[in-house]
Each structure stands twice: as C-alpha cells, then as structure tokens.
Amino acid sequence: MGRLVNKLALITGAARGIGKATAELFHQEGAMVILTDINDVDGEAAAKQLGERSEYCHLDVGKEDDWKAVFRMLGEKYGRLDILVNNAGITGYVLTKGPHDPEYFDLESWRHVHTINSDGVALGCKYAIQIMKKHCYGSIVNISSRAGIVGMPLAAAYASSKAAVRNHTKTVALYCARNQYGIRCNSIHPGAILTQMWDCMLGEGERRERLVRKMCDQVPLGRMGTPLDVANAVLYLASDEAEYITGIELNVDGGILAGSAAAPSGDE
Ligand code: NAP
C-alpha cells in the first residue's frame, strides 16, 4: 500500500481489462487516477466504483484534439501529471473489416489500427512530455505486446503498430534523458492475457474452453495471464522503485518469449 501516494496518473483505455485493473491498483496504492476511454458508460462506472481520488474523461487516443482537451483540463485543474499509462489498443478484428494478413490486408483497416495503437501512444507521449517536464518528473508506461517483438501472420497491422510502440518508447526515453527532463519511458509486452479483447477470437462455450486450454498448453507457466499480472508490472515501472529504469521492455507473458519453436524437447 502507498507506493503512489500523491501521484497523479492518467490511464487510457481504462474502462475495462488491463487499463481498469491498472486504475484499481494505482488507486489502491494511493494515486489520484484519471481514467480515460471511448467507452464512457463503463469508464464512468469504473471511476465511480473507485470513488474519491478518481475521475473519468472521454479520450479517443487517435484524436489529437481529444488529447489537447484532456491536457488543457489537467493543466488548469492540477497543473501537472506524474504518470501516463498508454494502454488503449485494438487488434482491429472487431472494429475494422480486414483481412489482417500481410498479403491481402485492407489498407483502411491497417491505418485505423495504427492510428489507435501507435499514433495514440505517440500523441500521449507528446503531451505528457510537455506537462511533465515543467516539474522535471514523470513516468510514461507504454503497453505494447509480445506482438511488438515477434511476427503475427494474421495480425499484421497489430504487430506492426505494437513494434512501433516498442521503438518509440526508447526514442522518448533517450530524448527525455538527453534533455534532462526527469521523465522515464518504458514499454510492457503482455502476452495471452485473458480479457474481453480475446472474446472475438475465442468465441463461447465449449469452443472457448477448448481454445483457452490449448493456449494454456503453449504458455510455459501453464495459464493465461490476468489483467492484474500486467497491472503489477505497470505499477513497478510507474513507481519511484524504478527510478533508474528507462527505455526497457518488460515482458509479462508467462515465459512465452523466453523460448523458441522447434527446440529439443527431450523426446527426440
Ligand atoms: P480490452 O479489454 O479490449 O480493453 C481496451 C479498452 O480500450 C476498451 O475499454 C476499449 O473501449 C478502449 N479503447 C478502444 N479504442 C480506444 C480508443 N481509440 N481510445 C481510447 N480507448 C479505446 O483490451 P486489453 O486486453 O485490456 O488490452 C489493453 C492493452 O494491452 C492494449 O493496448 C492491448 O493491445 C495490450 N495487450 C493485450 C494483450 C492481451 O492478451 N489481452 C496482449 C498484449 C497486449 P471499447 O470497449 O469501446 O472498445
């Protein structure tokens, strides 16, 4: 308890999933939390559930005007921001028409996924740097993905956009260090975290159970991750415990990226 006392944190995509779990954990650790999302109904409800030291704002991360409005409010009301978690992201499977493979992908869908996943993160960093540097203090945590590190044959735009997040994080980290802004920037790479993001891929009932079991078999730790597994990693990088850490990528994937396919299994 108390690892973020007196800190002001803004989290994108906080109405559900990893963003919501992060908001709850930050709040539990004493932070004032600004939850943002495009899903206003669930976002408002999540903030209401937290009660004091929380508020909800509409923020579509792909729209620069939305970022400007939220940061104008932050400047006027609080005069600062200590922590930004760029969490909002989409696979594109639900909102865009696809296909999503590198041979036949739909360009409009490709652009939409990049607008949310990579432009959204870049815009968040842009406005966070401008306000955080005033107090020479800040931590930015960007949620990339294991897909930002390895290829995804059926999610080309998602993988490409998450790779952009991974790289931009390091650029922001070095830029802020070079300018002595006191701002750190790190990326987190979740893999196989059971949230609603998976619903369209897993389906329901027996099919869902079968696919989840199959997924668990492929994770070295033998289970899918929870939103809290990721939130705990975000908390560490956001907190002062990580004050000498910038520009890193932290995998939260049950060991998926630790190994490789076609490795000796002992059964040969
Ligand atoms: P989720 O359950 O789908 O939640 C994402 C939230 O972001 C939703 O509330 C969604 O609102 C919101 N959102 C969508 N577009 C937005 C926009 N333009 N601006 C602001 N908010 C927007 O996803 P999650 O699993 O928690 O994932 C969170 C992050 O972790 C994403 O960046 C994702 O790529 C990354 N990640 C997840 C996994 C995983 O296995 N779950 C693995 C690797 C990386 P709507 O409900 O209206 O869509």
Supply the pTM of this predicted model: 0.98
Q: What percent of the chain has pLDDT over 90?
A: 96
Q: How confident is the model at residue 98 (pLDDT cuts 50, 70, 90)?
A: confident
**Cβ–ligand 1 contact at 143 (below 6 Å):** yes
Structural domain contains residue 221: no
Query: Is the pLDDT score of 81 beyond 90?
Result: yes
For 172, the domain range is 8-196+226-258
In a domain, 37, yes or no: yes
Give Cβ neighbours of residue 79 (< 8 Å, ≥ 6 apart): none
Q: pLDDT tens, 160-194?
A: 999 999 999 999 999 999 999 999 999 999 999 99
Q: Domains in the chain: how many in total?
A: 1
Tell me the pLDDT tens digit for each residue of 185-238.
999 999 999 999 999 999 999 999 999 999 999 999 999 999 999 999 999 999
- Does residue 3 lie within any of the structural domains? no
Q: What pLDDT sits at residue 189?
A: 99
User: Among candidates 210, 98, 90, which has minimal Cα distance to 154?
Assistant: 98
Could you tell me if 27 and 53 are in contact, meaning their C-beta atoms sit under 8 angstroms apart?
yes
Closest ligand 1 atom to residue 191 Cα is 42
| 124, part of any domain | yes
pLDDT band, very low/low/confident/very high, at 1 (cuts 50, 70, 90): confident
Does residue 209 belong to any structural domain of this protein? no
Closest among 86, 191, 106 to 147, alpha carbons compared? 191
Question: Strand pairing partners for 37?
Answer: 58
CATH number at residue 104: 3.40.50.720
Instruction: Tell me how far apart the alpha carbons of residues 19 and 66 are, in angstroms, rounded to a whole number.
Output: 18
Within-domain flag for 207: no
Separation of CA 182 from chain center: 22
Active site residues: 158
Would you tell me the crossing angle of helices 227-238 and 17-28 to the nearest 10 degrees? 50
Q: Is 224 in the pocket of ligand 1 (CB under 6 A)?
A: no
